[in-house]
Each structure stands twice: as C-alpha cells, then as structure tokens.
Structure 1
Amino acid sequence: MPSKSCNVVVLLSGSGSNLQALIDSNRAEGSPARIGAVIANRADAYGLERARAAGIDTAVLEHGGFAGREAYDTALMHLVDSYAPDLVVLAGFMRILSGGFVRHYHGRLLNIHPSLLPKYKGLHTHQRALEAGDTEHGCSVHFVTEELDGGPLVVQAVVAVAPGDDAQSLAQRVHRQEHQIYPLAVRWFAEGRLRLGDHGALLDGQPLAASGHLIRP
C-alpha cells in the first residue's frame, strides 16, 4: 500500500450519488484515497452540496463562454491540475471529453457507466436493455480512453432484469451496484493494486479479463 494518500479529483454534473458513495466508503474503510476537490460544470449540481458537507473543496467551471470543447477542456485541465490529482474520477460528468484531456490523464482517469460494456454505450442504457429483452444488465467501471465508453474495463456488477422492470426500477438497482463497485475500483487504484498497462487494466500485476473483474449477485 502506498505510504501517502491518493489525491482524487471528482468531476460531476448532477446529484453526486456516486460521489457520496466514495465519501462514505473512504470514511468507513480507511481507504488511502482522499478526495481533494469536486469540480462541476453546473453551479446547481447537488454534488457540490455533498462535497461541501464533507469539507471537500469545490469549484465550478461552466462551459458557457468558451469557444468550444477544446477551449473548455484546456481550462478544465488547468483547474484540475491545480489540485495535483493522482486520480481523476468521472461521477456523472455529462460532457464528452476531448482527446487532449483524455491523453493528459492517461492511466489515471476512471469512469462509471450504467451498462455491461461494451453493450449500450452512450445514453438511455436501462431502456435499451429492456427493449432488447436482456435478462442481465449492470454497470461498469473503466479507464477512460478516446473511445466513448470504450476504455479497458476494471470491474462490472451484474443485475438480473426482473419480469416487471421498467427503466426506473432497473436503474435503481443498477445505482446500488454502482455505489459498491466505484469505491472498490478507486480503492484498488489508491492502494497501488490497479493500473493501466500497455494492453489493458492490471490488478495486482495480472491482466484483468476483457470484462474486468465480474461481480454477480
């Protein structure tokens, strides 16, 4: 385990339920991860309130007024780097990041996505799983690359689709699993167990399967 804490910066746009799960996990389990700052692209993001309640520094960088995505991401990079992060965590950050941003944080940028990737990249994942007649759905933590929702998988949690599910009921169960696997992945990284190798994600020096570490009910 590293002798110093792992400084984490969290980017979000909304309610911050995954942020809360990270905060709670760090407190309960004595994780070497320490959230140094939470940055939002919306001033009304409730995740900022969660961060302030936990005594975490917050910042807002709204995208209005920037010439485009590259200009915004350059400013965001400078802001993130001012907190000297070891790891950057996307927790419902509703912007597609530029290639320059992703390359800058190569190997230290994690995202969580509400599907069993590579299925259902993008939005409306729960409804798409139901429309496809899937019997299993879930969520995935992955390293971020320039391919949207396409980086090497770290851990996935499987959720059974019930006969009476709608998108909302399925989403609720998936969210509960998100709140388990995201703190797990961040803790692995903070402990020095997880890293991005040349050919994919490594846990304890061993290549993870293409699906990552799989958790079933």
Structure 2
Amino acid sequence: MDRPPVKLGVMISGSGTNLQAIIDAILRGDLKAEIRLVISNRADAQGLERARRHGIQTQVIEHRKFPTREDFDRAVLATLNQRSVELVICAGFMRLFSAVMLDAFPGRIMNIHPGLSPAFPGIHAQRDALELGVKIAGCTVFFVTAGVDVGPIILQAAVPVLPGDDESRLAARILQQEHRILPHAIRLFQQGRLEIEGRRVIVKGEPGGTHPPPLINPPID
C-alpha cells in the first residue's frame, strides 16, 4: 500500500542541523514527509532560519513565558494540532515534555540523542562517554516517554572513539550519524513498520541474510 507523506512537527532549540537532514531527505525523495511546522523554544535558534529558507512555517514558543512545564506543553500542543501534525520530532530540542504532550502523542514523539541509550543520558553524553573511557560511542533515535532519554529504542549508530578524541571531535562524528539515522527512523514510521512492544520497538519487514560484522575498537589484528 502506498502510504501518504507523514505530517511532521519539528521541535528545535539550536542550530537545526538534524532539521536540515530531514529537509534534505525529503528533497532527495528519500523520505515521504511534510514538515507542517517548526517550533523553537528559543527565538535566536539558527534552525528557524533554515526552515524559513525552505518556506516552512515557524513558531517561537518561549518556555520562560509560561509558569509551568505543563502550560508550555499546552501551548505547543495547541499549535501542533492546528497544523494537523501526526509525528513530533525532537531535533535538538532541549526540553523535557510533560504528560500533557506524552498523552496527546503516545508513540508519536521521536528524539535523537548523541549517546548509545540507555547509557549516558542528558546533555553531556559525549563528554561523559570520554570521561568513562568507552571505546564505542554513538547515537540513538527513540520514542519519547517520561524520563530522560529512556524511551523505546528505534535505531542506533555506533561510532568508535579514536585516540586523541576530545568532546568536539567525537560530537562532530556522532552528528554525522545522527543525520543518517533520524530521517531513516521517520521513514520507517511513515512506512508503518514500527511497532512498540513494552520497552522494545519491533521493525517489521527487516531484511534477512548477512549482517554487518561487529564493530570492535581497538580492532583485533
């Protein structure tokens, strides 16, 4: 069955590079989606200009103007509903949603995190990974639930930690993979291939056959 494009609402707080990755995937024809609205909680977010350059409607809803998290979420929810949004994408959105949003979009809010969840939750995932001396870092797309970066995992990408890495170098390489897996996760949703079972996400119709070899770091001679 040829499914229609999924109607997206994208939440941002900063530069919007993951937003750009979604836009680019749509323009290439790799993703059947329509970005109905980009919302930022910061008026100075660079991602707003990215959206405007592509003729995408934007809205600034500053969280500091609301007395509670729930009041902010109600304003966001009303705006998303006005644009008939089906799937909410948190693309560098630096806020936690309350039950107001989670109950309105159950299994329909995705987030991208620069760590291999459930390890290293929060905003300093790359720094925390380096401090603990992990050999493999990465990124995760997951469905948002209550809590910090703990929802059912859709996709992950592994990124080796290289000798001499600092936080910025590791973050840059992880970001490259974020730009790959977030549009793909949205594509799987649009195709109706994602099913949540408890805390797991089942990807229906995964190809069989051979799989990539394990990523070992440092490599074995």
Question: Normalising by structure 2, what TM-score?
Answer: 0.89
CA distance in 1 between counterparts of 2:191 and 2:124 reads: 33
What's the counterpart of residue 158 of structure 1?
Answer: 158
Counterpart mapping for 1:1-217 below 5 A? 1-204=1-204
- AA at the equivalent of 2:113: H
Q: Could you tell me how far 1:85 is from its partner in structure 2? A: 1.1
Give distance in 2, aligned partners of 1:77 and 1:35: 16
Q: Secondary structure at the match of 2:195?
A: strand
- 8 Å CA contact 2:120, 2:128 repeated in 1: yes
Q: Which has more radius of gyration?
A: 2
Distance 1:3 1:127, change over 3 A: closer
Residues 115 and 140 of structure 2 are in contact (CA less than 8 Å); yes or no, is this contact kept in structure 1?
yes
CA shift in 2, pair 1:82/1:216, >3 Å: farther
Structure 1 residue 216: Cα displacement: 5.7
Q: With the length of structure 1 as denominator, give the TM-score of the two structures.
A: 0.91
1:204, distance to aligned residue in structure 2 (A): 1.4
What amino acid is the match of 1:171? A
Instruction: Give the Cα–Cα distance (whole angstroms) in 2 for the partners of residues 143 and 215 of structure 1.
Output: 25
Deviates more, 1:195-204 or 1:28-37: 195-204
Secondary structure of the 1:10 match is: strand
Alpha-carbon distance, 1:80 to partner: 1.2
Q: 1:216 to 1:56 in 2, by over 3 A?
A: farther
> One-letter code of the match for 1:23?
I
Measured at CA, do residues 215 and 155 of structure 1 come closer, stay the same or move farther in structure 2, by a change above 3 Å?
A: farther
User: 2 CA distance for matches of 1:44 and 1:14?
Assistant: 8
Deviation, structure 1 residue 199: 5.0
Report deviation, 1:205.
Answer: 6.6
Tell me the alpha carbon deviations over residues 72-127 of structure 1, each in whole angstroms, 9 at most, x when there is no partner: 11111111111111110000111111122112111111000000001001121111
Q: For residue 134 of structure 1, give the secondary structure of its aligned residue in structure 2.
A: coil
The one-letter code of the counterpart of 1:165 is D
